[in-house]
Amino acid sequence: MEKFVIVGGNRLKGSIKANGSKNASLPILASTLLSGGVCTVHQVPRLRDVFVMQELLTYLGAKVTFDGNTMRVDSTHVQSQEISEDLMRKMRASNLVLGPLLGRFGSVRISHPGGCNIGSRPMNLHFKGLSALGAKITEKFGYITAETSQLVVNVFNIA
């Protein structure tokens, strides 16, 4: 195993280029659904889950281009529509579209997400958060339906 030995007394200086992160890019790409316009996201890694998110955004009506590591998403013509089990089960992070679609359109119906085999990863925290904002969440026949007339943030003054 290699190691770095740092001997004190000298300042470190220089620069590095940080690569994009899948776990940062996927929520950012899902959030472009809120804009109703054009968003440009840089340093997006060219990975399978990112391509699945691109497919999901396109399915919803977004125009998506991927040039190098820059993704441009135009969500002007996105419509909230039922997202099929086939598409949702391609990756775990597909559940990230639930909040943005609910926030923009007031209702959304998606299949349970799929993806990794590392164990149970329940949706209860997503449901709890959206419910706290005023959404009504129902699950039936493997589909999740979320509806709201308006999402509301309650701020409590804790002394």
Active site residues: 116
Please give the Cα distance from 107 to 137 (Å, whole number).
Answer: 10
Q: How many CB atoms lie within 10 A of CB 44?
A: 23
Report the amino acid identity of residue 154. Answer: N
Please give the Cα distance from 19 to 14 (Å, whole number).
Answer: 16
Please give the Cα distance from 83 to 67 (Å, whole number).
Answer: 26
Q: Which residue, 40, 44, 72, is CA-closest to 58? A: 72
